[in-house]
Amino acid sequence: MPEGTASFVYVGARTTKERNARGNGLNVYRMDNTTGDWTHVQLLAELVNPSFLAFDRSRRFLYTVHGDLSDITAMSIDKQTGMLSAINRQSTEGKNPVHLTIDPTNRHVIVANHITSTLAVLPRREDGSLGQVTDLVKLEGKLGPHRVEQPFAKPHQVEFDPSGRFIVVPDKGLDQVFTYSLDAEKGKLQLVSSAAAREGSGPRHVAFHPGGRFAYIINELDSTIASYRFDPASGALTPFQVISALPDSFTGNSRASEIAVSADGRFVYASNRGYDSVAVFARDSETGRLRAEACPLSGGKTPRFFAIDPSQRFVYVANEDSDTIRMFRVEGDKGTLASTDTVVQVGSPVCIVFSVPS
């Protein structure tokens, strides 16, 4: 990506009183790729709880689920200005959709309905619009032991592996990580395998090593990262390490939230809410094992989400309860994070995605 050019950044937020939110909708920014600074471009104020965002495979369209509701909205992107225009809105036939992904054929959108324990498949048309649900799969199994957080199955993410053959679904309520395949012709999901997580851990999100042989899952309830070997032929996950996302000097309460792997596969990052921070782990290139390097504070309260920018030089941390997105600079060969003076003020931010120039 050439220096001096600009990217566009899309920020989702909580907006409702039920969430004690202060967000005002979906915000669009232009990012200077040299300095990392953002300039505001657009606000879509009519969108309620645009809580997770994803591009289609052509990156010409953007989709958002509406947290706590039962809907997903399709939008077109103006290539020159980065501005969004709504196309249509469709039901996910479930409650509180929290994550979505687009399949490699660019013909289907898969959504995780967190509260109704389902995965929904919706057809995606060439004009970017969405059709009605073609498949709705209920997740079932033995509940985890946490009386409050695990009353039913709670799928929290739908993520394709790097090959695009399988969808991995961490389930916070069942302490399970499921693998599904998608029949792209019929728009139907098929359960392939499942891997048990530690009881009470609450698997939340997964991030793959770029080579596809390893997957790293952030466990929300016990603030750990579980490392798995991933079989790209069968979709099976085999755990081989569990490591805390918190420093051993922290003795309070905290919940883990987001996880990401650097583009070169050398580092893994994970955010904590309570001990508001982003943990940095070095990754062994042969074994895949993680080693804790640092755990810098997030510069705000409740870092629900963070994102590494396309250049891999900056990490932007969405501090939901202090209404800020803080920019960190990735420090050389160690992958550690250095806080900068760049702070974007935005109410209740919970998701960040980048669109780069073609």
- CATH code (residue 165): 2.130.10.10
Measured CA to CA, the distance from residue 138 to residue 174 in angstroms comes to 12
How distant, in Å, are the alpha carbons of 222, 224, 266, 274, 280 from that of 252? 12, 15, 30, 8, 20
Query: Does residue 205 sit within a domain?
Result: yes
Measured CA to CA, the distance from residue 242 to residue 240 in angstroms comes to 7
C-alpha dihedral, 244 to 250 to 255 to 260, nearest 10° = -50
Buried b (16+ CB within 10 A) or exposed e, 41-58: bbebeebbbbbbbbbbee
| Residue 255 one-letter amino acid | R
Query: Does residue 271 sit within a domain?
Result: yes
Query: What is the pairing mode between strands 203-208 and 188-196?
Result: unpaired
Query: Does residue 119 sit within a domain?
Result: yes
Residue 358 has pLDDT above 80, yes or no: no
Residue (of 326, 309, 319) closest to 276 by Cα position: 319
Give me 269's structure tokens.
Answer: 């990052």
Domain that holds residue 209: 93-344
Q: How confident is the model at residue 175 (pLDDT cuts 50, 70, 90)?
A: very high
C-alpha dihedral, 222 to 224 to 227 to 232, nearest 10° = 60
Angle at the Cα of 102 (from 82 to 213), degrees rounded to 5? 115
| Residue 271 one-letter amino acid | S
Query: Does residue 130 sit within a domain?
Result: yes
Query: What is the pairing mode between strands 159-160 and 167-171?
Result: antiparallel
Contact criterion met (CB below 8 Å) for 179 and 137: no
Residue 2 has pLDDT above 50, yes or no: no
Q: Dump pLDDT digits (tens) for 240-288.
A: 999 999 999 999 999 999 999 999 999 999 999 999 999 999 999 999 9
pLDDT recorded at residue 332: 78
Measured CA to CA, the distance from residue 161 to residue 229 in angstroms comes to 12
Query: What is the pairing mode between strands 38-44 and 50-55?
Result: unpaired
Query: Does residue 46 sit within a domain?
Result: no
pLDDT recorded at residue 334: 86
What total number of domains does the chain contain? 1
Residue (of 51, 189, 40, 34) closest to 119 by Cα position: 189
Residue (of 283, 263, 281) closest to 272 by Cα position: 281
Query: Does residue 68 sit within a domain?
Result: no
3-state secondary structure 70-137: CEEEEEEECCCCCCEEEEEEEECCCCCEEEEEECCCCCEEEEEECCCCEEEEEEECCCCCECCCCEEE
Q: Dump pLDDT digits (tens) for 7-65.
A: 999 999 999 999 999 999 999 999 999 999 999 999 999 999 999 999 999 999 999 99
Average confidence score pLDDT of the chain:
97
The more confident residue out of 333 and 141 is 141
pLDDT recorded at residue 265: 97
Residue 5 has pLDDT above 70, yes or no: no
Q: How confident is the model at residue 1 (pLDDT cuts 50, 70, 90)?
A: very low
Measured CA to CA, the distance from residue 53 to residue 68 in angstroms comes to 15
Query: Does residue 19 sit within a domain?
Result: no
Residue (of 169, 231, 163) closest to 197 by Cα position: 169
Query: Does residue 33 sit within a domain?
Result: no
